[in-house]
């Protein structure tokens, strides 16, 4: 079996909502609830990692931009 494609943030969030809805259903058995909970934790970790990576990218872009502004300001003085 091939490696599964990593879900996007939006796909993970949508599946988390589905899992939440399923877990609220009183007809879900214990074994299924545990499996859904485990899947939810994995999806939450995926979301966290995506957000963490996005934060790093934005921070680096801002630093680069600020650095370019400082360099262009020092050239005009």
What's the confidence (pLDDT) of residue 14?
97
Reported residue count of the chain is: 77
Cα(63)–Cα(59) distance, integer angstroms: 6
Q: What is the pLDDT of residue 1?
A: 45
11-50 pLDDT per residue, tens: 999 999 999 999 998 889 999 999 999 999 999 999 999 9
Positive or negative, the Cα torsion across 30, 23, 13, 53? negative
* Residue boundaries of the structural domains of the chain: 9-76
The pTM for the full model equals 0.75
Report how far residue 45's alpha carbon sits from residue 43's, in angstroms, rounded to the nearest whole number: 5
> For position 2, what pLDDT does the model report?
47
How many Å separate Cα 24 from the centre of its chain? 23
Q: What does the pLDDT look like over 16-26, one tens digit per residue?
A: 999 999 999 88
Q: What is the pLDDT of residue 15?
A: 97
């Amino acid at each position: 079996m091939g490696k599964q494609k990593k879900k996007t943030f939006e796909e993970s969030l949508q599946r988390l909502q589905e899992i939440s809805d399923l877990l609220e259903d009183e007809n879900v058995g214990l074994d299924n609830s545990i499996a859904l909970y485990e899947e939810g934790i994995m999806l939450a970790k995926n979301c966290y990692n995506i957000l963490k990576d996005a934060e790093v990218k934005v921070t680096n872009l801002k630093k680069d931009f600020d650095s370019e502004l400082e360099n262009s300001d020092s050239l005009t003085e």
